[in-house]
Chains A and B, each alone.
Chain A
Amino acid sequence: MTADVRRPATPMEQQIREHRSLVQRALALGGGWKFILGVVGLGTLIALAAGGFLVVGGYLDGRWYDIRDLGIPTSHLVYWMQAQGLSPAVPYLTTALLGGLGILSLVGGWLVIGSWVERRVIAKFQIRQGPNRVGLFGLLQPVADAVKLMQKEILIPLGADRLLFFLPPILIFLPAMLGWAPVPWAPRMSYVDMNVGVVYVIAISSLGVLAVFLAGWSSNNHYALLGAMRTVAMMVSYEIPISLSLLSVVLLTGSLQLSQIVAWQQQYHVWLIVVLPLAAFTFLFASTAEINRTPNDIGEAESEIVAGFHTEYSGMKAGLFLAVELGNAILVGAMMSTFFLGGYTLFGLELWIPGYLILATKIGAVYFVFVWLRATLPRFRLDQLMGFAWKFLIPLAIIQLLVIAVESMVIAQSGLPGIVTVGGSIAVNLVLTFVGVRAWASGIGYVSEAAASTPLLTNTVGGLRAAERIRVVS
């Protein structure tokens, strides 16, 4: 064994070693800067505390300047319009336009920041810099990319179906926007708080399948068709686990309305990810398949089938596909937060700070998990993905659904305090998750990582273990 190989540190390693954190850099500042920073920080804290006191003391309740819930200023606007003697259609249309503009600007802003975050975070995972040239920290990089994409020529391949080639970038954009309608941002703040919200979410997400297929088929390209068929098969398969996991949520909370689901979690002071861990995992994993993100992006696997169903698209049309992929990730983050992470509530903190900020924070957290998965996991094969859905997720979800049916009956009708019934359900579901997953996995012939033999070659000759033994001299 050559245990003592010495080599000089690479420039990257030098950079990592000399990198100082934000705190270290702040401590190294001069006295005047420290004073200014301290004043600003203390002032912010005092302002926040004063705001919280006003809110909890009831001094802000219901006034138009109460921005904890943007529904309050909007309803004041509606009352003002009705007082002016306008026809009822005017406030109706005005609020609809306001809500639509709000959602559009929110998603647009997320698209710009999200792609920057994704590239930077993945760069950190892979120990490189990421985009850092355009603007401060490279923040304007997405804008530059968009300008570049818009300038590119839009090509239409020979033999493509003109109409069907033109439609998909638009068609795939619609579900990504429509899906935002039922998301509750604060107690009375959602675009349409419809009472069939969960079914609506599933139905809207199933519309994207057709756009993907049309994109692949109309391109007159084998790679595109392959990617489209892969994506369609995967989406159709993974709709079932998503529906089953959401069905268990609906059974437990007893409502199809998203705001009621959030209210249930608020009432019992528990997040549904604790009560339904298996359903939450199923939803998260199946969503990554549904929106083509990386552990499951076989539909556009760039190392196998160029870019999948949008191989032949160029310019801003390809940009739209990429933007929709990112927007769907954020939408799934919102759904995940609403269904399983408590939505706009945070154990009483929603009284102090606006609920939409809490929801945005949760969306950011789920989005970070998506980026994390993308940086960590390799891509599955098509048959592995299908087998995972049909042999693993769906049977387990059905078993969990049966258990949840009994539990929801007990919670609703036993009359015991919630801490007993819901606590018991949590215990039962945790046991069910661990035992069920392990038993089912061994039942269908999964061999765990620890039991598998370690390849000898990587231990002695190459691989990570050997690389660890190489000492770096700086």
Chain B
Amino acid sequence: MESPGIILAFWIFSAITVAGCLMVLVSRNLLHALVFLVLAFLGMAGLFLTLSADFIAVAQILIYAGSIAVLMVFAIMLTPLAARDNGNSLYVLPALAAGLGIAGIIGFVAVNSPWAQLTGDALKQGDPDTTVSVIGDLLVGRYVLPFEVASILLFFGLLGAIVLVHERRGARESS
């Protein structure tokens, strides 16, 4: 990728995303952490755009920033007596060590692998206009079985969430 605009966009969006993740880690308030999480999601969508993944970027905004963040809002609001501070558990230092270790290993493998020379542009051979039609063809073509399994998974996720949170009438008063 040589276009200066894309390089600038890559660095800006990386900075936004990493800063958002850091703020999720150090923020003292759960709602603040949520806002920074949404910021990280949006920055990630920008990174997807620099990879010319237009559909995935928009789907990222729709699903993560639009739906999962709102789900988290509901979860926070439905637990009114729980603590609102974004407190750390006893395992802060081991957790941070594990995180840094994983990041270091991934970075080491990424830098020391021969795929650093792969700078080809996959989209140039395929359909240059849009990724949507190709993704759609693949979803109902080669990957139709995973697609069906994913839909079943979504259905049971929905069902499971409803069954878990459903309040039986009168169960609350008796307990």
Contact = CB atoms under 8 A, between A and B. Distances in A.
Interface of A: 89, 92, 161, 163-164, 167, 194-196, 199-200, 202-204, 206-207, 209-210, 213-214, 217-218, 229, 232, 236, 239, 256
A196 B29 contact: no
A163 B32 CA distance: 8
Among B54, B58, B61, B132, which residue has the most Cβ atoms of chain A within 10 A? B58
B54 A232 contact: no
Secondary structure class of chain B's binding surface, majority of residues? helix
Contacts of B62: 199, 202-203, 206
Interface stretch (B9-17, B64-72, B140-148, B158-166): B64-72
A435 to B, nearest CB: 29
A195 B69 contact: no
A163 B67 CA distance: 23
B155 to A, nearest CB: 14
19 contacts: A89-B4, A89-B5, A164-B31, A164-B35, A167-B35, A195-B54, A195-B129, A196-B132, A199-B58, A200-B58, A203-B61, A203-B62, A207-B66, A209-B66, A209-B70, A210-B38, A213-B73, A218-B31, A239-B66
Contacts of A209: 66, 70
A204 B129 contact: no
A369 to B, nearest CB: 27
A210 B61 contact: no
A161 B35 CA distance: 13
B59 interface: yes
A217 B35 CA distance: 13
A161 B130 contact: no
Contacts of B130: 195-196
A392 to B, nearest CB: 20
Contacts of B29: 161
Contacts of A204: 61
A249 to B, nearest CB: 15
A195 to B, nearest CB: 4
A210 B32 contact: no
B77 interface: yes
Contact of B58 (A89, A92, A161, A196): A196
Interface string B106-131: 00000000000000000000000110
Nearest to A204: B61
Interface in B1-33: 4-5, 29, 31-32
Contacts of A210: 35, 38, 65, 69-70, 73
Contacts of B32: 163-164
A229 B54 CA distance: 32
Nearest to B76: A217
Contacts of B77: 229
Interface residues of B, number: 24
B4 to A, nearest CB: 7
Given A92-B5, A203-B65, A239-B66, 15 more contacts: A89-B4, A89-B5, A195-B129, A195-B132, A196-B54, A196-B130, A196-B132, A204-B61, A206-B61, A207-B66, A209-B66, A210-B69, A210-B73, A232-B73, A256-B132
B146 to A, nearest CB: 21
A286 to B, nearest CB: 15
Contacts of A206: 61-62, 65-67, 70
B153 to A, nearest CB: 19
A161 B31 contact: yes
Contact of A199 (B31, B55, B69): B55
Nearest to A163: B32
Contacts of B129: 195
Contacts of B73: 210, 213, 232
Nearest to B73: A213
Contact of B31 (A195, A217, A236, A239): A217
Contacts of B70: 206, 209-210, 213, 232, 236
Nearest to B54: A196
Top 3 nearest A-B pairs by Cβ distance? A206-B66, A203-B62, A195-B130
Contacts of A196: 54-55, 58, 130, 132
Nearest to B45: A203
Contacts of B69: 210
A229 B78 CA distance: 11
B81 to A, nearest CB: 15
A97 B153 CA distance: 45
A213 B32 CA distance: 13
Contacts of B67: 206
Nearest to B71: A236
A207 B61 CA distance: 8
Interface string B38-70: 100000000000000011001101100111011
Contacts of B4: 89
A92 B4 CA distance: 13
Contacts of A167: 35
A89 B32 CA distance: 37
A194 B31 contact: no
A146 B35 CA distance: 30
B66 A203 contact: yes
A200 B4 CA distance: 25
